[in-house]
Each structure stands twice: as C-alpha cells, then as structure tokens.
Chains A and B, each alone.
Chain A
Amino acid sequence: MKRFLVTATLAASLLGAACAGATTSTSPASTTPAAASTPGSTSPGSSTPASSTPGSAVADSGTTLTIVAYDSFAVDPASFDSFTAATGVRVKIVTAGDAGAMLSKAALTAGNPEGDVMWGIDNTLLARALDAGVFEPYTSPELGALAADATALVPGHEATPVDEGDVCVNYDIAWLRDHDLAVPTSLQDFTDPAYKDLLVVENPATSSTGLAFLLATVATFGKDGWQQYWTDLRANGVEVVDGWDAAYYEQFSGSSGKGPRPFVVSYGSSPPAEVIYGDPRPKTAPTAVMGESCFHQVEFAGILRGTGHAAEAGQLIDFLVSKEFQELLPLTLFVYPARTDAAVPQEFTDYAVRPDDPLTVSPADIEANSADWISTWTDIVVR
C-alpha cells in the first residue's frame, strides 16, 4: 500500500510537470511566426502586443524593450512599472552568463542584437565592447548628475555609467582582535611574515574579482613592479582559488563557511551584505574593508547597435540613471549609484568603504594588456 502511494504520488507529480511542460512548448511556436511576420523587427518578442497596465498614465505603445544583463542582475521586474506607466513602453529582462560571456555573445552578433539595451559592461570590459561596436552612442540628458570620473571613461557617449563599486580586501574583525594583529595599511604589508598564510585571492584568469585585484596591484606597484610583489606574495603563502564563492565561503574565516584565512579579496559592499542577509542579523558587521586595497569598478549600460527602438531605448537609459531606479541599486546589486544625488541605505554608510581615491587602470590599458598580465601572473603565482 505504501509503495502504491509513493508510486501514485510520483506519477501524479510527473504528470503535472508534463502538463506544465506542454504549456512551455507552445511559447516558441507563438513567438517565432510573430518575429517572422515583422521583417523590420530585430529582436524576437520585442513587438509582442501587450495588454495595457491598469491605471497607466500613458497609452500602451505596444513596444517591449529587452534589457540584456548578466546572470546576477537581481532587479525586480516590477521596478520598471513606473517607466511603463510614464512611456507606455514595457520592459523585459533576459540574462545569459556572466558579463564576459554576455559580451562575447554580443560581439558575435553586433548589429543584430538579442535585445535593445545592455546592462553590466564594466571598466575591465569597456574597451573590448567599444572595439566590437556593440553599442550605439547616446547622450543622456542626465549625464550631468552622474559621477564625473565615471562619465569621463566614455567621452564618445557609447555607454552610460550606471553604478560604481570597489573590489577590496575584506578582513575578519574578530580574528584580528583574537590574534592581536593590526589591520594592514598597504598592500605591501601582505608580504610581511606577520601576515604569512593569511590572505586568499581569486584566480584572475577565471574570476573578475581576481582580475580586479591583479589590476589593483598593477595600479599600486606599476607595470614593471607588480611582478615582484606577486613573487613575494607567493613566498608569503597567498592562497589562490578559482572563484569568489570558493574564496569567500571556503577559505575566509569571516563568512559562514568559517575557513582558515582572515583576509579575502571581495567587494567594498560585502560587510553591509553580511548584516542585511545575516541570519540572525548581527548588530554590527563581522567583517570590514581595507580601504587602501580597493580597485574601482564602474558598470555601464548602453543601447545595442541595431535595435529597432533606439528612441525608446534612450528613454530607458534615462530611467536607469533616474533617482528612483538608482536608489534601488545598493540593496539589489550591492553597488553604489552612479548618480551623485541618489541616497544610499544606512548599512552602506555604516559598514561599506568608499575610498576617496581608489586604485584604477584605464580601460584601454586593461584591454591592451590584461591577457599578457594574466599569463605572466599565472607563470609567477601558480606554475
């Protein structure tokens, strides 16, 4: 009897899933002819007729814009409701892979894009995106409200800065206190025997955080000096792991993973995340950021060249840098708004570090040299 019940339950759940599967399987069939019958349309589904939002101020224009974003773009689709209400344009989000994968795909289909606007190309990828001709220039009327150092990176206005953040060494406050060890004041300190076997970093060849930290050392020690620094760092027992997850949760002592090492390369905004997503929520952040180690990252959004809706895409870019949308970013993507007058939450003010003068390397330099730097780094640190 018991066995029969198990079988019946499983069979019923499989059947349920099968019925649901049938619903999915009809959707491509319904979008494909639509795309085929509108020859001018470049992105599938972008001209899908949509029912108007109840209570919208403006009549539905029938246009749907597609935002192409990296996987971790955790923005609630409802955040675009006010944009739809104001313009009559609907917004759909599609994701695929990390920023690097997203750019490789966009570069292969430049001019015939998957969507209308791309979110999330950062300053390490910017020069490659501009070289590949992925974006269509657009000068937003909101540019003046954005951080000047960020807008300066795109003098041709091919893309618009949308957020900023830093990759920094994080440390475990309790561990340093228990071991009576001072917080380092420069990257050079990590080559001191007092800090032997305490730092874990990510591999720059496989991790964007790892690459940012490598660039931080290039910015600190110069194009000819960083190699010696890493030789010393290796001699002092730096641990290299594949990605941020393994570093932060397997090796770092300040996370719930309770690893062995008190210093990790992570984000300037990781301490507030530990508070906000702490369980139970800690009174103060268990980790802190070493400001002298921060590499500055700027993320951009741009109109994809070849979109059939350039005018609406421009309106969407304006919305992305509006005060309303920018103020959502700290708690969704754990970054700072690019807009200088946008407010940030209290946890950010309390626990995140925003260095006045973070380390940086120009996008053109990064694009020209990063492959060589990574290969040299691999020879020095892991071979």
Chain B
Amino acid sequence: MSRPSRSGNRLPRWLIAALAAPAIVFVALFYAWPLVALVHRAVTAEAFRTLVHDRSLRSILWFTAWQAVLSTALTVAVGLVPAWVLSRFDFTGRRWLQVLVTVPFVLPTVVVGAAFLAVLPDSLDQSVAAIVLAHVFFNIAVVVRGVGGLWEQLPPDLGAAARTLGAGPWQVMRHVTLPLLAPAIQASASIVLLFTFTSFGVVRILGGPAHATIEVEIWQRATRFGDVGVAAVMSLVQLLVLGLAVGWFARIQARHRVIIGLRPLDARRPPRGRRERVVVSAACAAVAVAIGAPLVALGERSMRTIDGGHTLTAWRAVFGRRAAAVARPTATASLDPLGSLFTSLRFAVVATVVAVIVGGCVSLAIAAMGSGASGRRIGRVLDTGVMLPLGTSAVTIGLGLIIAFAVAPLDWRGAPMLIPLGHAIVATPFVVRVLLPTLRAIDPRLRDAAATLGASPIRAWREVDVRLMLRPLATGAAFAAAISLGEFGATTFLTRAGRATLPIAIEQLLNRPGAGLHAEGYVLATVLAVLTFAVIGSVELLTGTDRRRRG
C-alpha cells in the first residue's frame, strides 16, 4: 500500500496519445459536436430569460438533486452486502445470483416500473419512497459489479493480519476493507448518481405527476411544448451540475489511488462456521427475493387474460407469427417481435465491440498518465469527458444528432449504425469505470520487476496492465452488451426504418388497447430478461473457464 512511485519506467507519450485518440474522436463526433450544434441552433437569449424567470426550475433542480443523492447513498449501502457475499464467498449458485443482480439494470424502465408497481404496497404508490426504492433496485448491479470486481481481487491476508492483531470483523471492515475499496465505491457511486439524477422512466411511472426531475422537464419542453431552446438551456444546467459532481469524484478517485497487491486469482472460499453460513444465506435469499419477485411478476403478466385467467396464447403469438397473422389481420404486421430480438442482438454486438475498444484504450491511457501532476489533470479531463454523455439528457443528444448529421456528406439521420453507436456512447463510461479502479491499483513494482528482468516499458506494460485488465474488461463488456440491449432514451429519437429494438417494440405493444397485445409486450419483456441473463451469464462462464485454465 505505497503511494505511486515516480518510476522512470514510463510508457512513451505517443502510445498514450494513440490509446486516448479513439475515445476523443468518438466522443467529439457523436457527443460534443451534436451538443454544440443543438445549442448553436436552438439556444437564444430569450430562452435564458424564460428560464431565469421560471420559479419552478429551482424546485425541480432541488428535488432532482436530493432524490439522486439519497438514492445513490442507499444504493451503495444496500449494494455492498451482495457485493461482499458474492466476492468473498464461494457457494452453489453464486454465479447465477451475480447474473440475476444485473438483470433489472437492463430491462426497460417502462416494464420493470410496471412489474415493480405490481409488488409494491399501494401506500407507496406515487411517492418519493417508491422512486428511491426503484432506483436501488435498478442500480444495485452497478455497485455489486463495480465494487465486487475489486473486492474479489483483494488479498484476504490483509484482513487476516488485522484479525491477528486483535481486530473484530467490523473493525476489519471499517479500517481495512472499506478504505481499500474506496476507489471502486466512489466510481460506482458516481455512475449511480448520474443515472438517478437523469432518471426519466422511473420518475414518470412511479413518482406520478407531482414529482418531476429535470430530465422529465427537458423532455416535456422539447417534445410537448416544442420549446427546444429552453430544453437545451436546461440540459446545459444539468450538465454543469453533473460535470462538477463527476469532476469532483474523478479528482478524489485519482487522489485516493491505493496500490494493492491485486491477485488475478479470486480469494473466495466457502462460508465457515454457523454464523457466517446464516449471514451469507440470508443475504442471498433477500437479494434473490427482492430482485426475483418483480421479474416473476413480468412472466405472470405475459400470460394474463382479460377475465383474470392465464394462457400461453401470447407466447404462441410471438414465437409463431404466421398463425397469429391470420387471426389478427394487419395491426401487428409492422411489429415483428422476433425480428426486434435479432435487431437488438446485432446492435448489442456492435455497441459492445466499440465500447470495449474505445473504453479499454482510454482507460489504459488514463491510468498510464496517472503519475505526474499535469498527467493527472489530463487524465481527469479525459475521465470526465467520457462520463459526460451519461449526464446529458437523452432528448438533447437525440435532437443534437439530428442536426449534426443532417448535412451531406454526413447525412446519417437514417443510418442504422447511428443506433448502436449511440448505445456505445452510453456504454463506454461503464467500461472505463470498471477498468480504472483495477488499473490504478496495480503495483508499479510489478512493472519495475519486469523491467529489471529486461522487459521494455511497453513489454512490461503489456505483460502486467493489459493482462490484469482482462477480467474487468469482460465485466465491462457484459455491461456494455446489457446497456445496448436495454437502451431506450436516445434510441427513441433516432430514425428507424423497419425493425425496432426490443425495448421499443415492448413499449409499442404496451401502448395499445387489447389484452392480447399487452400480454405480448410482457412476453418480449420476459424474453429480454432471459436474454440479459444469458448474455451476462455466458460472459461469466467464458471468463470463468479462462480463469481456471490459467490458474
């Protein structure tokens, strides 16, 4: 646990620049430029004046901020329990529980919002408590995966040493484990804060009309009142607040860089003793029930009929379109549920590849820049720059893309590629957030040792950093795929010809009268949940096998 040494064993500048370049170009082209184009086109002095005189904005901003801070704190507090159980203990079904935790994060808010409503006591309906609980439910995966990723690589002998010196389990947790985990906790908290601050669907469905976040207000002004100028200014205000928050997080994260002898092998063991077994199984059961119940409610709804009975007709309709097309003449002809499944899978592959390459490279660049004061500053700017799209209203990005890509030769408004690239913009920060804590925790002495053995700086870096980042990179890839599968916000603004993605098909089916179509929407939602489970599960399995072979 030494502070970073200023070793002369540094990567050449050209390599760092080359690693940072894809991210800079990507974010500039698909985020910064559209944003600037929208502000240039739509923002007027009058829009500013309207906003300054609008007394409701301040209260909306205040509500947005406090519910976000409360949701974030609660998500971190609640998420640490499964993170601990899943990263420290080995037991049957551990991996599946870990996958299950990730599923809510991916499902469209419309769907889980409805499923959540079904299991929520009526008294909590349309309350702040419902919003905060749903935020915890949705975002717990970020903490479990983000913190767990570092936790499972913490050497257990640190805690053992503290215990030998007489510390109880709580003292070990407070004085040894949590400080070591601080970078990962901060990283997860900053993502959860961005998500809860810009929360849209959850607030609309569970909060009711009395609770509006600034994201809802921006959407309302831009699409309901056609007041794009005011919406863009609001979006800038939101961006400013979140930019400051994220910049601050990045700053403490870089400062609290802790170097630990990370082990690529996991330090999990079966729970020992009765007390440990009880605690672990209670935690597992609580997580499984809290996350499983709304998901089971989804499945139930896919079979519900108008008279309260249950049937599999909707499942047959989705998976045997031909028969259904005869029974229902034309209304669902353009809604091709199975087609939307393949569209979603294709987009997820493209988005994941782009996010992993861009995010992986920029993370290595940021970590390599980490030592000098000016290097740290540039690293922080890059880090914050990559995170900003998460803090920008999806409506704003969507409208910006329309303007930015409306001029030949870049008239890409109808290009299908714009959709997975939009997903990749949202997914890249996750890859970075998952990678950075690990990369920053690598002991530079490992590289020094490699250099002593005759390796060039590049070779040493390749053997140490690149190898140690493979596992978190797999986690990042799983997240990216999951985000692409579930992305709804920006995608709704991009023009689509032909097939919609799965979340959009779900939304369309749920918004039509007729019990049969409604049930089909829930069939697709259940399929999406299972698909997410499978994608993330397969990543786990593949990386798991890989680990065993190496170990």
Contact = CB atoms under 8 A, between A and B. Distances in A.
A280 B346 contact: no
A97 B223 contact: yes
A354 B415 CA distance: 41
Contacts of A93: 334, 497
Interface size class of B (residues with CB under 8 A): 35 or more
A17 B415 CA distance: 19
A91 B418 CA distance: 22
Given A96-B494, A105-B402, A108-B402, A20 B342 contact: yes
Given A36-B409, A71-B492, A332-B331, A240 B208 contact: yes
A273 B329 contact: no
A32 interface: yes
A279 B399 contact: no
A97 B511 contact: no
A158 to B, nearest CB: 16
A315 interface: no
Interface string B302-316: 001110100101100
Contacts of A371: 225, 227
Given A39-B408, A274-B515, A11 B542 contact: yes
A255 B306 contact: yes
Contact of B209 (A23, A77, A78, A378): A378
Q: Tell me which of A92, A249, A255 has the highest count of chain B C-beta atoms within 10 A of its own C-beta.
A: A249
B89 interface: no
Main secondary structure of the interface of B (DSSP, over half): helix
Interface stretch (B182-190, B280-288, B463-471, B516-524): B516-524
A277 B346 contact: no
A7 B545 contact: yes
A206 B204 contact: yes
A349 interface: no
Interface in B305-349: 305-306, 308, 311, 313-314, 328-335, 342, 345-349
Contacts of B273: none
Contacts of A280: 305, 311
B29 to A, nearest CB: 14
A214 B332 CA distance: 30
Given A11-B538, A44-B411, A93-B497, A104 B416 contact: no
Nearest to B206: A242
B417 A25 contact: yes
A206 B414 contact: no
User: What band does the interface of chain A fall in when counting residues whose beta carbon is under 8 Å from B?
Assistant: 35 or more
A165 to B, nearest CB: 12
B48 interface: no
A50 interface: no
A378 B220 CA distance: 13
Contact of A74 (B38, B332, B347): B332
Given A11-B542, A35-B411, A97-B223, A20 B346 contact: yes
A276 interface: yes
B222 interface: yes
B511 A35 contact: no
Contacts of B497: 66, 92-95
B41 interface: yes
Nearest to B481: A14
Interface in A76-124: 76-79, 92-98, 100-101, 103-105, 107-109, 112, 114
A114 B414 contact: yes
Contact of B222 (A17, A104, A273, A278): A104
Interface string A273-316: 11011111010001000000000000000000000000000000
B495 interface: yes
B373 interface: no
A256 interface: yes
A243 B507 CA distance: 12
Which of B330, B332, B414 has the most C-beta atoms of chain A within 10 angstroms of its own C-beta? Answer: B414
A10 to B, nearest CB: 4
A378 B217 CA distance: 13
A101 B305 contact: no
B459 interface: no
A27 B415 contact: yes
A96 B504 CA distance: 10
A43 B495 CA distance: 12
Contact of A249 (B330, B334, B407, B510): B510
A96 B349 contact: no
Contacts of A205: 209, 220, 224
Interface string A117-143: 000000000001000100000000000
B415 A44 contact: yes
Contacts of A100: 223-224, 226
B117 interface: yes
Interface in B513-551: 513-519, 534-535, 537-538, 541-542, 545
A213 interface: no
11 contacts: A21-B347, A32-B410, A43-B414, A74-B330, A93-B497, A109-B403, A114-B413, A114-B495, A255-B306, A278-B516, A371-B225
Interface of A: 3, 6-7, 10-11, 14, 17-18, 20-21, 23-25, 27-28, 31-32, 35-36, 39, 43-45, 66, 68, 71-79, 92-98, 100-101, 103-105, 107-109, 112, 114, 128, 132, 203, 205-206, 211, 240-246, 248-250, 255-258, 266-267, 269-270, 273-274, 276-280, 282, 286, 328, 331-332, 334, 370-371, 374, 378, 381-383
Given A20-B349, A32-B410, A245-B114, 20 more contacts: A7-B542, A21-B345, A21-B347, A68-B495, A72-B512, A75-B330, A78-B333, A100-B223, A103-B226, A108-B42, A206-B224, A242-B204, A248-B513, A249-B510, A255-B306, A256-B305, A273-B512, A274-B515, A279-B515, A378-B209
**5 pairs of A and B residues whose beta carbons are closest in the complex:** A277-B514, A76-B333, A10-B538, A256-B515, A28-B415
